[in-house]
Amino acid sequence: MKRTFIVLLSVSMLMVACKSKEMAAVEAPPDVVEEPATEPEPEPEPEPEPADIRMVEERFTFETVEDRATHESNRYFVIVGSFSVRGNAERFMETLKMQGFSPVILVAETGFHRVSVDSFEQEVPARTRVQSIRVNHPEYHDTWLLIRKL
């Protein structure tokens, strides 16, 4: 009887062990395929809204006859700097020339020397130019429009 008990015990242990292996094989999760991690694309910088562009209307004169001849028919001027001292405006113009701009100085009725890098007959292209300068030259993020008062 002792021998039978040992045989039964051994058989039951084998059955339990086999059953555990079957269950383990059936319950094993499928292989997980990892996809390579991708970096999220950076969000594009928002374009400045039209309301973000400062616009000032005032009277001014051109510093040179040549500037007047070139820009006289335009009403919208893209301003990247404004100085109370003429010499500061002239030094800033030299910096702008080295960066590829064609700046002119406009002497405002308030006495300020406005440094303009472009002028337009219409407002929409002038706004577009302001936005372009702000995006391509972040150091001039405060570029604004001067509207010639008629």
131 with 89, same domain? yes
One digit per residue, the tens of pLDDT, for the chain of length 150 reads 555 555 555 555 656 555 545 554 555 555 655 565 555 666 555 554 555 899 999 999 999 999 999 999 999 999 999 999 999 999 999 999 999 999 999 999 999 999 999 999 999 999 999 999 999 999 999 999 999 998
Question: Any idea what the Cα angle at residue 15 is, between residues 13 and 18, rounded to 5°?
Answer: 110
Number of domains in the chain: 2
The answer to whether the predicted template modeling score (pTM) of the entire model surpasses 0.85 is no
Residue pair 78/133 in contact (Cβ under 8 Å)? The answer is yes
Print the domain residue range for 121: 54-148
93 with 23, same domain? no
pLDDT of residue 48: 45
Q: Is residue 40 part of a domain?
A: no
68 with 135, same domain? yes
- Residue 61, C-beta contacts closer than 8 angstroms, at least 6 positions apart: 106, 107
Q: Is residue 88 part of a domain?
A: yes
Q: Is residue 43 part of a domain?
A: no
C-alpha 18/C-alpha 32 separation (Å) is 26
The 3-state secondary structure of the chain reads CHHHHHHHHHHHHHHHHHHHHHHHHHHCCCCCCCCCCCCCCCCCCCCCCHHHCCEEEECEEECCHHHHHHHCCCCEEEEEEEECCHHHHHHHHHHHHHCCCCCEEEEECCCCEEEEEEEECCHHHHHHHHHHHHHHCHHHCCCEEEEECC
119 with 63, same domain? yes
144 with 100, same domain? yes
- Residue 90, C-beta contacts closer than 8 angstroms, at least 6 positions apart: 105
Joined tokens for residue 79: 């301003």
